[in-house]
Amino acid sequence: MTTLIDLAELGTVGGFFALRRTPAHDSGARPLAEAYAAPATGTDPLTFRVRKVAGRLGAPEDRIAVSVAQLGLAARLWSVALGSAALYGRVPDLDPAVLRWDADGTSPDDLWLSDLRPLPGDAETLRSVVQHGHLAPLSAALRDRYRISAGLLWGNAGSALVGAARELHGWAARSGRADVGERALELAAELFDHPVLRDTGTLRDTGTLRGTAFRRRSCCLYYRCPDGGLCGDCCFERPPQRSSPEAPSG
């Protein structure tokens, strides 16, 4: 295991694992800390992203677009951090004051970090970098302006973490890097040992992440979109009637 982080190799795992050192184009990318702190003006990054997702999905409610937008960003952050830690034993310092995000971009062009400063790749550092550094302030910002529950957003975070581990484990198996896959599962299991993630769902296969089987206790609400359906880890067995007043929020 090397102490250097090879972003080119990391990006081969999949688009969600990619992290650029320079912007892909002349975008309006801003530090994520600014996005979390910006007031809802209608043109601020978070509102822009939610409206973009709503338009793409035809979402009939704001909270559906909020959920899907937050889920996508959570998946990007977990993937970059978990992939780096499993492959290289280090994680980039994704300080929201310096990690830039293009609210109009998609992976791999939405995130870039000019200064690659490696941190230790243990679970507590990953938790500090992603969960505390990004997901907590992102959740607070979204809940401050939209009608959406904390349980739903943390359920998305748990689902995104398992998805990153699953993708990395599959890539490692195909690439003959079983050690990387095992390390990804070990780290993900450690990360789930925290109250806000532990209660987001059930890790099947005797309570471990072996096989990355996960059943969440909340729903991301995607099924409520015109062409939506249930995710593979959804709490529902079948889509509820869209006329039902509420979906569980965790």
- List pLDDT tens digits, range 160-213: 999 999 999 999 999 999 999 999 999 999 999 899 998 887 765 534 445 467
Tell me, yes or no, whether 240 lies in a domain: no
In a domain, 237, yes or no: no
**Token pair recorded at residue 53:** 């997702």
pLDDT in tens, 71-81: 999 999 999 99
- Give how far the C-alpha of residue 172 lies from the chain's centroid of Cα atoms, to the nearest Å: 20
Total tally of structural domains belonging to the chain: 1
The pTM of the full predicted model, rounded to 2 decimals, is 0.89
Confirm whether 221 is domain-assigned: no
Domain-embedded: residue 60: yes
Q: Residue 227 domain-assigned?
A: no
Q: Is the confidence at residue 237, as pLDDT, over 80?
A: no
Gap between the Cα atoms of 133 and 138, Å rounded: 9
Residue 166 lies in a domain: yes
Full residue range of the structural domain in which residue 149 is found: 7-213
Distance CA 28, CA 200 (A): 34
Torsion of the alpha carbons at 188, 99, 145 and 193, rounded to the nearest 10: 20
Residue 231 lies in a domain: no
